[in-house]
Structure 1
Amino acid sequence: MGAESQNPSGCARWCPLNSKCVNATACHCSPGFSASSGEIFTDQLESCDDINECGPPLAVSCGKFADCQNTEGSYHCECIPGYELASGGKTFKNKSENTCQEVDECQRKPRICKGRSICVRTQGGFTCVCPPGLEPNKTDPGTCSDVNECTSGQSPCHNTTHCLNNVGSYECRCRPGWKPIPGSPNGPNNTICEDVDECSSGQPVCHNSTVCINTIGAYRCRCRRGWEPKPGFQNMQMNTTCQEMSFPPWTPPPGIQSQRLTSFFKEVQDLRRDFKPALAQSTMENLIKSVDDMLNSSDLEDLPLSERHKMATYLLSELERVLRTLAKAMPGASFTYNSSEGTELSLMIQEQGNGNATIGQSQARMLVDWAVAATAGDSDPTVMGILSTRKMHKLLENASLELDSKKKATLKDTYQRPVRGIWSELFSAVNLVFLSNTNTEHLDSSVTFAFSHHPRTEEGAPKTPGHREELICAFWKSDDRGGGHWNTTGCSTLGTRNDSTTCQCSHLSSFAILLAHYDIVDPKLALITKVGLALSLVCLLLCILTFLLVRPIQGSRTTVHLHLCLCLFLGSAIFLAGIENEGGELGPRCRLVAGLLHYCFLAAFCWMTLEGLELYFLVVLVFQGQGLSKRWLYLIGYGVPLLIVGISVAARKEGYGQKLYCWLNRENGFLWSFQGPVIFIILCNAIIFVITVWKLMQKFSEVIPDMKKLKKARVLTVTAVAQLFVLGTTWVFGLFLFDPLSWESWVLSYVFTVLNCLQGFFLYILHCLLNKKVREEYRRWAGWITGNKYSEFSTSSSNQTQAHRPSESGM
């Protein structure tokens, strides 16, 4: 807007925008504008600015639900959002013209909100929201998408129904094979359903060869007892069709020729031909009778042992297979049968079993979990059975026994040496155990057995385990050649009480209680010991009689020899009679034997030391042959070992006796109560003999030696040294037997045993046969016994000659 004037010729040319010319020197602002110097102004620098009629102080009132809107040089009123004038106009000038009223935007056409969203009126406006069952679409803002309530995790339906999602909603429908409970509709979210029992509907849902079994939401058709699915069908299906069960085929074992065996399989074929499922019980009874008759036949005893074991393996495995099949045809839940020969059969059959079950009769009982007995995924009835027979002993005679590594380690710890041999005999009936589950090599849980046994000796007395014998649980294990042997792997013996042994096994097979005998001692070594000790005792007895009866050799050294042989004789006799600990218990008898052996052998070494002292006194000190008096000889020879044994008993009496032998225990070093004195005595004797020999050599080197005494002393020294070698060397080998499990100790055991058993023989040769006086006395006795005068005369002449030479040696 430019400057305006009523008198253009007299207006001022400088009037600003939005003004009018008043005269040549003044201007006037247009309506809606104002200048800072007043309504009329003359300042050429003045300007006319817009007047904000809507600003404070508020000069204009538009009324309710309207706002003032300023414009350049003027203003107008507008209804606030969500309101409009009744006339439909947009603006008005003053409050009197205000007819603003609320407008419903959600009713406008076309729709304001997109898709399935809903328009919702708000104070002066609207908003778009998603209805229930829908949610805002993240990829397309302003629209809504469906919410799947069935997969939201909120479980809107009862667990007996099936959730069906709809657009914006869902339904709870009964599953197939279910129906709504009475009073409950099908579809709403509060629907509750129950199973439909198709088997009681009265309609023939299954084939007549099967039995309908209702399941949750469905049904199955299972073959009747004594029936099996036809080829091409499976059991427990809706279309299962069955046929009558047949007797399993059973052919003779290959390579075994036996007339009775052939007859048995002819009877089996007759049973198979005449078999009917309804006759399953009588068929099993007849089969057991046929087995008993076959095992009673003497024809089997003519078979080689290997063929008998093959036949036993084949018979046990096939009987298990046949009895398991026939048991499935049994109509009842259990069956027991006792044959006239004492064979027992116990069966239990259940559709579904829970927990533990006990089955068995007088000879065997079994505790097993039904879950272990059932076959995984098998719908047939679960079968468990035990067949106990004593007639199998004939086929299993002399079968070998193999121990598991754990049992071998236990025996090794018990006897402190490995088991060299095992032989066993059947102590109970052979018990064939079978279940529906054929995968029984590694069961999920162990099976517990109790086997009865009451064997008798030939005299009729109850038979009990003896020394190094025990009752163990074993099973019959087949080998690659078709035979078998007893084995203990996976089975443990829990205990024996009242003629019954309890076992626990992690697998199934044919079981029995065996009386196992363990050969701990080397039989060859035992034979050498007994024969050698018997020879040694005879020789020692001859030595004792010689020392007592031959007068020409009487003296202090003969006294020493006599008591040395007496100690060895008593020790060897006690060793031969009582060294083995028969009962395996450390009782008073075994401890007494160990103590007597300790004393006798120590006494023998003490008397050997006394001989060295006698020689020392003879050669080194006096050279007149005078030694210790008999009082000192007895005091040292018997008193010192008594003192050592007494101290050992007082310190640790439980050290006497072992589980295997009645000898000193190796634990805690107690064996050194014998080894220590022996080593000391051997060393002392060796020192004495070295000194003696050295002194003899000095005396032989003298200018005028007494040759007669020197020769006698030399002979005595050689004899004593030889005796030390015989006795000392023997026990030196014995001292190195620290570890009875090593092969070095095995070799040393043989050397020690041979030398120890020949001690008496060596002493007899050394002190009797090599002694000239003793030989002459033997000739005199022989002549007296046979009546030979010449022998008597020659002997007496020799004695007279010898009487003139008393200082000569008898060697």
Structure 2
Amino acid sequence: MLLKWTFLLGLFLPSCSGCASGYTFVKRKCVDIDECVTNPGLCGDHAQCFNTPGSYYCNCNEGFRSETANFTATSGECRDINECIEKTRECIGDMKCVNTIGSFVCVCPPGFHEPTTGPGCEDVDECVSSVCEVHSNCTNTLGSFHCICTPGFLKHENGSCTDKDECKDVPDVCGTNANCSNHQGSYSCKCHEGYSNYGNSQSKCTEMSCDHFESDTEDTPVKLKTLLALLRSSCESLRGPNGHQTGEQLLENLFTFTDELLSGGNIADGKMLNHCLDAVENSMRLIGPQLKDPVTRMETHNTIAEVAVMRGQTPPSGRVTLSTDSALFSTSWETVVGKSYPGFAFAALVSYKDLNSSSDLLHKMSNERSDDKETSVTYQLNSKVVTAVVSNAETKQLSESVTLVFRHVEERVESEGMAYSCVYWDEIEGAWSGRGCKESWSNSTHTVCSCSHLSSFAVLMALYPVKDSFDLVLITQVGLALSLVCLFLCILTFKFCRSIQGTRTSIHLHLSICLFIADLVFLCGITSTHNQVACGIVAGLLHFFFLSAFCWMLLEGVQLYRMVVLVFHTTLKHLYMCAVGYGVPLIIVTISAIAFPAGYGTSRHCWLSLDHYFILSFFVPVCIVISLNCFFFIITVWKLAQKFSSLNPDLSSLHKIRSFTVTAVAQLCVLGGTWVFGFFLFQEDGTEVMLYLFTILNSLQGAFIFIMHCLLSKPVRTEYYTLFVRMCPHKKKVEYSTSSSQRPLRSENSTGESKI
């Protein structure tokens, strides 16, 4: 029975031997086979295996890929991706991409390395380590290096450096006046007797001439003879194979002697200046090649210099610029070298600080050389004198002009009456000359010169007499003529008009006389500059009478002060007034003439000179008079105000004195104010407006006096009308009231002053 049921059950259960692919029969059932476990290398080395029910698939690792996705061992394989070619990854900066299996790396190119901090690459300095052979120098380059043989050695094919025999390989390296000796890596030239390379052993030898360091004149200063003897001794020591350098010491000695020459007043004439400048130029030609440093600068009390030296087998090129505190010198090295190059070249600029102390003689000589003898032209050095020297011996006519920039000693803008010119010291003529030099540009502080030769240079300032314009001359002549007529009428009025006689009238009379004489002398003799003596006399008369006019104005202020403040002493004695009005100006003029007689008369006008502040002998007394009068007028006005406010004022007298005071103040403003405008004319910023105001107001002073003291005075007008009626009898006479209000105000004892 049991066997029967077992047979029937077997008919309905499947057979285990029939499991699908990817499964296995375990314990009477089909179980999935994990191919990734049973066969670990199924997908290869660069892929990962993933099991699925009844199967599996493979995926490539990062950095790899296959032709099909989810492949099996039979359908594909993983291949490396070249990120550097496909540029799926990029490197920073100069780093290079290098592909690896499944990835890539960024590396620096040869000659570079990664810095310790920060990304990118930095150059490796191969020259830090000894990478070059002996007698060669390592030169680092970006990512590499070069080995260059040192001067005097040649590089062979094997890279080694061997000595170069310059005496054989370089033709004429020492010239024909020296013997060449080869050394390890170098050579030297030994000059023949009478020739020198100034201690530069690798330079050609040139003939030495020491004759220009001799002084055969008896008038040569002892100090200059000593300097020339020292330079000749140094020159002689260089004439031969054993010459030695003493450049720095010679330069110091040269400047020491030059300081003594300039400060000792030995530069007395053009001949002496020739000796001095010639000695400096020849000395720099001897000293310059011996200096060791590329640029040497030396400064003493009176001298300053800058010297540039270049050495080498090839001539230098480019620009060379030298400067001192007062000048700048610029040229090309080609101009410095010239046609022949002995192996060295130098350029020097020497500036003399105190050579201008002897410029009085120099500008006199320039004045004698003026083309226009009738025109009084004043010449003045407006820069420091400088000497420019180069190693080129042919500097009389340069192929290329040199440039010199001068700083002005006196800052003045070039105008109609002044011009700058670039000059050099002509040793043959013994004077300043402008041949071969021209002014390129100038302003108030600097002048740029262009010269076709080299010598000692400076900037000459020519001061031309500026002709007065026709307008100013006409205004002056018409105004003075009108003033002379008015002043003459004032003199007649103050002398013969009885109704106004008194102390103030006497003061006005003398004031008018002084102004009349001053204006007459001014009109007739102000331009008499052709005769120096006559011009000085005219200037002295003008000085005296203008000062006298101001002194009489001061007396009027004192008189008003006494009339108001010192009421019991209302008059001044005539003798005392004359002593002040004419004595004080006479004393001032006498002292001025004794102290500086050349101050009377200038090259343009017969008036006081500006030299040595001589003009102050007029302006200082004028300022004192104006200041004192202002003080007296202030006190007078203050006292008048008090009297007007008193209980019982004498109104008629006070009104009269107030009228006198107002007139005196107006007179002070007119006569004194005009000279204030004149003072501003001597300033650097004096304008044309000031010039016209000064001319108009000064020329019309007489007219102002006549208007203030005659036409505006009622008693004078009455006298004028009476005189007019007498002269014209057919006119009807006018009756005048004899009341006290119509009569002229008189004081006791016929003083003509008001009663207070």
TM range (shorter): 0.3 to 0.5
The normalised TM-score by structure 1 is 0.36
